[in-house]
Amino acid sequence: MATSHTAAPARPARRLWRRLMRWVVVLAVALVVAWLAGRWANDAAIDKLRVASAQRLDGYAVSLENLLSKYDFLPGTLELNKDVIALLQRPGDEALRAEVNAYLEQLNRRSGSTTIYIVNLKGVTQAASNWRSRQSFVGDYVAFRPYVRDALRGMPGGFYGVGTTSGEPGYFFAHGIYYQGRMLGVATVKVNIERLEQGWEQDAGKVLLADANGVVFLSSVPEWKYRTLKPLPLAVQRELEESRQYFSHPLAPLGQRELRQLDGGAALVTLPGDQRTPLLSLTRSLAPRHWSFVYLSDLSSASASARSVFLFALLVQALLVLLVLYARQRKQTRDHLEVLVAERTASLREMTHHLSEENSVRRAAEEKLRRAQSELVQAGKMAVLGQMAAGMTHELNQPLTALRTMSDNAQVLIERGRLDDAKGNLATISQLVARMGALTGQLRQFARKSDASLAAVAVVAAVTSALFLVERRVEQERVNFRMLVRDQDVQALCDSNRLEQVLVNLFNNALDAMADCDNRQLTVNIERANGRALIAVTDSGPGIPEQIRAHLFEPFFTTKPQGKGLGLGLAISEQIIREFGGELRAEAVAAGGARFVIVLPLAEQETA
């Protein structure tokens, strides 16, 4: 008997313990599911941020390359100046030095560069565009600079550093000056690229540009300049001190700490002063300069999105638990009502059986029946209340769904199925970058002397290829283009690549001339006359005065505003056509505008 009395109280305790453990498991599962949902939302937000960061880095890289490519050819053109050659041959001629100084000063002002100077084989500056300044480079010894050493060894040099005389940073282009196959000195052009930082400072992220050693020399955060992404080895420190690349700057480490590596060159990092808030770091290498662009994005939005999804997941699971409890409670109520009805029915049957015996029993039975009916009505009311509760639960689901919709932009894209749109945008941007890269390549080839042999070139195909490079601009500026071809099979003896360069230059000049005109008509005529192939490019611009036409093909002569051109395009184009054995001339148009005519020799199969 004693055993049965002690075992009875233990059963409710065990039941209570099992129920408690069941709720603990449910809570643990809910927390794990909510955490996984938050982690997924955080990863999705980081992926979206990484894609946006990559797009911005691509844009910044293109802007940087466009700026540098404008000056890449400029040092090599200085050997075309006879006074520069003469000064390197006669360094003691002060009158000649004054003329070269004035020439470099004017060229520097037209090109928009910082400084242009000439160095002899001993590494001593002979002439400079800043000869009037107290910080003139004339007489400075610069042979220790890497770009000067490279140029003296016959390799065109490129170098970013801080000036040892002026203290101003810039990118240095260096190219050997040759005369009759013998090197006489080095031409150097210094360009300020710090103006790129103005656009970076307006970006929500942080932008860094570091050299091959990890030294940050451009940054949207001024105090990060001349800091290092990681501590420098002693050998690198000695090399930088010898070259005085960053002059007196201490080059202290930035203190960046990497938390986790991600795909695609991305990582989660922290910076000094804010170790608790991680940043998304995306790195893009710039070859062949061996520079690295670093873009740092704030992850606070991703963290907020993860928290919102975590809370939303908890709310959804809580709603599901409430629905389960409601269903269980409703089943228990229905079972209880069924038992109650069964009991009342049995009682009524018993009372009905005894109705004939006495009226009092009948009245009592009727009274019990009325009470039973009242309870049934009450149970019906409870069922209706249950349905109303279900309706209220459905109404609460709508604001929860709205909260989910606003929680995260990445989740909205997935729910709306717009992943293809995002991929489409990336594909479109990739095509534009490729197009710009092709244009940049054409511009670099424009200043490079080609050694291609002459061959038969289909003139119509060359004009079509050149038009492709300016087609976008023709459409944007609403220019009416016409190509009149009298002989489709005209073939000229030339180099197709360089002919296309000449045509692109003429097309761009025509578009520039018509920029302020209401009527914009660009016409290309292709014909054969007197055993020669003729290509005429005619525009409807304001035309070219006679006094200007006489100087069009002179180097560095330009009618464009300062900074819009160096005046080398037509000079180089005329030289290319002359090398083909042809002629490039400018003609006036009676109805207004200008016409440039290219005359080329016909290929052998044409003349045969």
pLDDT tens profile 9-51: 667 788 888 888 888 887 888 788 877 777 777 667 777 878 8
pLDDT in tens, 506-529: 999 889 888 888 889 999 999 998
- Distance (Å, rounded) from C-alpha 50 to C-alpha 43? 10
Question: How far is the C-alpha of 74 from the C-alpha of 69, rounded, in Å?
Answer: 10
Rounded to 5 degrees, φ, ψ at 417 are 70, 35
Between these two residues, 54 and 423, which has the higher pLDDT value?
Answer: 54
Residue in 452, 465, 552, 555 with CA at minimum distance from that of residue 501: 465
Q: What is the pLDDT of residue 55?
A: 84
- 187 beta partners: 118, 175
The contacts of residue 165 (CB under 8 Å, 6+ apart) are: 135, 137, 140
Of residues 528 and 262, more confidently modeled: 528
141/568: higher pLDDT:
141
Rounded CA separation 412/399 (Å): 16
380 or 251, higher pLDDT: 251
What Rg do the C-alpha atoms of the chain give, in angstroms?
41
**Distances in whole angstroms, Cα of residue 278 to Cα of each of 134, 177, 224, 259, 271:** 48, 51, 18, 8, 8
Output the six-digit token pair for 473.
Answer: 């601009």
Evaluate if residue 474 carries a pLDDT over 80: yes
Express the helix, strand and coil content of the chain in percent, nearest 5 each. 55, 20, 25
**What b/e string do you get for 260-280 counting C-beta neighbours within 10 Å, with b at 16 or more?**
eeeeebbbbbbbeeeeeebbb
The two beta strands, 216-219 and 257-261, are unpaired
Q: How confident is the model at residue 533 (pLDDT cuts 50, 70, 90)?
A: very high
Is the per-residue pLDDT at 259 higher than 90?
A: no
For residue 365, name the pLDDT band (cuts at 50, 70, 90). Answer: low
Top mean pLDDT of 93-102, 482-491, 553-562 is at 93-102
pLDDT at 234 > cutoff 70: yes
More confident position, 353 or 342: 342
Task: Assess contact for 486 and 528: CB atoms under 8 A.
Answer: yes
Cis peptide, bond prior to residue 555, ω within 30 of zero:
no
Please, how many CA atoms are within 13 Å of residue 111, restricted to the half-sphere of its CB? 29
Residue 382 has pLDDT above 70, yes or no: no
Least confident stretch, 298-302, 428-432, 574-578 = 428-432
Q: Are 243 and 162 in contact (CB under 8 A)?
A: no
- Per DSSP, the three-state class of 157 is strand
Entry pTM? 0.47
pLDDT given at position 395: 35
Which range in 244-253, 343-352, 577-586 is most confidently predicted, on average pLDDT? 577-586
According to the model, what pLDDT value does residue 432 have?
Answer: 43
